[in-house]
């Protein structure tokens, strides 16, 4: 007797769970198949920044989609709390991108003006204003861009809450189940062959993040390992997230904790945290917040962010196989983009009308994408 579902989702991270949740609420019979435990990969490793403005510098479909997703969080985390009891520590105090030189300040001021066209709350902080907001920030910071509408949450709790909410609304959650390959009838998917046997499904959505190429070698997604650490202070050191472009952010969490992320190691599937990674993070963090030296070191970990060839996520049906969908390649913005991805992918699979800008920008066979695959 083979199990049969409307939709099988491969990958139990925030993407897979967010989609499964929406589809189940829409009445579908859904299974999530995860080779490890739910939310155990990139999802739980994220620093949790909801940086629609901090992370996505350029205007375009990705930022539009990110802003849409960011707006979903307040209601979504309430919903998760209600169904799971888990508080994901949504923090809406904003992100500051500090300038460490006049040169950086100039660039950031331009960005402030650009943002203010459509977000009047964005503003430039001069040195004093910055230190008024963050009195312990380094004296070397000459100012900063304040993005009050970006936020952050506790990514591991969010990933757990998404998995639990799925269980609790009736999604079939199969942990420790490896998908070997698709079950195909000509070019139409009929299910997946897994370590637990064949699972029949009319539609299959691959949300395997950095591991997407395992099943779909022609989808250009590769891992960019990010190492993170967390420290705990004996008083509040930081109120807002501090975010520097070339890869260091300080994210204040409940209980006077700070998450410091993250390195970028492309094409590395290992999850090992290197001594060099920690050294890099501590040096950067000290340059932004010198008092970090006195905090207690708590933990270190890493995650494999799924990066795509052109920097945009893949969301859509596979051009060669009917019924195979992909939602992957969200890189550093997986947490941020998960609520909107859940809604969009559910609508797509359900055959609802979807916004053209999303469909066209993120579909798998978009122009910029060479489906022949990369390295």
Asked if 66 and 52 count as a contact pair (C-beta separation under 8 A), the reply is yes
272 binds a copy of itself (CB under 8 A): yes
Nearer to a copy of itself, 190 or 271 (CB): 271
Q: Which residues of 216-246 are buried (b: 16+ CB within 10 A; e: fewer)?
A: beebbbbbbbbbbbbbebeeebbebbbbbee
Nearer to a copy of itself, 161 or 364 (CB): 161
Nearer to a copy of itself, 109 or 264 (CB): 264
44 binds a copy of itself (CB under 8 A): no
Q: Is 79 exposed, middle or buried (0-12, 13-18, 19+ CB in 10 A)?
A: middle
How does DSSP assign 99-111, residue by residue? ESSHHHHHHHHHH
* Shortest reach from residue 58's CB to a copy of itself, in Å: 30
How does DSSP assign 219-252, residue by residue? S-EEEEEEEEEEEE-SS---SSEEEETTTEEEEE
SS3 346: helix
Q: How far apart are CA 20 and CA 32, in angstroms?
A: 7
29 binds a copy of itself (CB under 8 A): no
- Using CB under 8 A, pick the residue from 102, 140, 187, 294 that binds a copy of itself: 294
Among the residue ranges 25-33, 48-56, 158-166, 352-360, the one whose residues contact a copy of itself (CB under 8 A):
158-166
319 binds a copy of itself (CB under 8 A): no
- Using CB under 8 A, pick the residue from 101, 106, 188, 297 that binds a copy of itself: 297
128 binds a copy of itself (CB under 8 A): no
Site residues for a copy of itself, 47-106, by CB under 8 A, read: 84-87, 89, 91
Q: Which residues contact 366 (CB under 8 A, 6 or more apart)?
A: 310, 312, 360
Q: Is 2 exposed, middle or buried (0-12, 13-18, 19+ CB in 10 A)?
A: exposed
276 binds a copy of itself (CB under 8 A): yes
Nearer to a copy of itself, 29 or 271 (CB): 271
Q: How far is CA 309 from CA 51, 66, 217, 218, 224, in A?
A: 21, 19, 13, 11, 12
* Site size toward a copy of itself, by CB under 8 A: 58
- Using CB under 8 A, pick the residue from 108, 142, 147, 292 that binds a copy of itself: 292
Q: How far apart are CA 109 and CA 334, in angstroms?
A: 28
CA angle, 267 then 41 then 233, to 5°: 105
- Using CB under 8 A, pick the residue from 109, 300, 347, 373 that binds a copy of itself: 300
145 binds a copy of itself (CB under 8 A): no
Nearer to a copy of itself, 25 or 181 (CB): 181
180 binds a copy of itself (CB under 8 A): yes
Q: How far apart are CA 326 and CA 308, in angstroms?
A: 12
Among the residue ranges 100-108, 289-297, 346-354, 360-368, the one whose residues contact a copy of itself (CB under 8 A):
289-297
The residues binding a copy of itself (CB under 8 A) are: 84-87, 89, 91, 160-161, 164, 167-168, 173, 175-178, 180, 195-197, 211, 213-214, 217, 229, 231, 234-236, 253-256, 267-279, 282-283, 285-286, 292-297, 300, 375
């Amino acid at each position: 007797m083979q199990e049969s579902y409307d939709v099988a989702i491969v990958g139990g991270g925030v993407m897979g769970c967010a989609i499964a949740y929406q589809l189940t609420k829409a009445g579908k019979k859904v299974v999530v198949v995860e080779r490890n435990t739910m939310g155990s990969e990139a999802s739980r490793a994220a620093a949790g920044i909801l940086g629609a403005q901090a992370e996505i510098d350029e205007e375009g479909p990705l930022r539009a989609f990110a802003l849409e997703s960011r707006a979903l969080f307040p209601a979504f985390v309430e919903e998760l709390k209600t169904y799971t009891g888990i508080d994901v520590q949504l923090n809406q105090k904003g992100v500051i991108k500090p300038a460490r030189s006049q040169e950086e300040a100039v660039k950031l001021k331009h960005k402030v003006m650009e943002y203010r066209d459509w977000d009047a709350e964005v503003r430039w902080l001069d040195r004093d204003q910055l230190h008024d907001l963050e009195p312990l920030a380094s004296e070397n910071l000459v100012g900063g861009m304040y993005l009050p509408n970006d936020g952050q949450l506790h990514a591991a709790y969010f990933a757990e809450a998404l998995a639990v909410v799925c269980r609790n609304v009736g999604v079939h959650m199969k942990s420790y189940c490896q998908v070997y390959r698709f079950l195909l009838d000509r070019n139409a998917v009929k299910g997946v062959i897994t370590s637990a046997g064949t699972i029949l499904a009319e539609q299959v959505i691959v949300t395997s993040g950095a591991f997407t190429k395992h099943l779909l070698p022609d989808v250009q997604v590769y891992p960019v390992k990010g190492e993170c650490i967390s420290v705990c202070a004996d008083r509040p050191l930081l109120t807002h997230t501090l975010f520097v472009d070339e890869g260091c952010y300080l994210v204040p969490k409940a209980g006077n904790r700070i998450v410091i992320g993250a390195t970028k190691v492309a094409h590395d599937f290992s999850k090992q945290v290197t001594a060099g990674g920690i050294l890099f993070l501590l040096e950067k963090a000290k340059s932004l917040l010198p008092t970090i030296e006195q905090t207690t070191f708590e933990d270190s970990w890493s995650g494999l962010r799924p990066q795509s060839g052109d920097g945009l996520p893949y969301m859509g049906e596979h051009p060669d196989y009917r019924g195979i969908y992909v939602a992957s390649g969200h890189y550093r913005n997986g947490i941020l983009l998960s609520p909107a991805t859940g809604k969009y992918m559910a609508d797509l699979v359900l055959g609802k009308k979807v916004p053209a800008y999303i469909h066209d920008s993120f579909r798998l066979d978009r122009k910029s994408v060479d489906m022949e695959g990369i390295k």
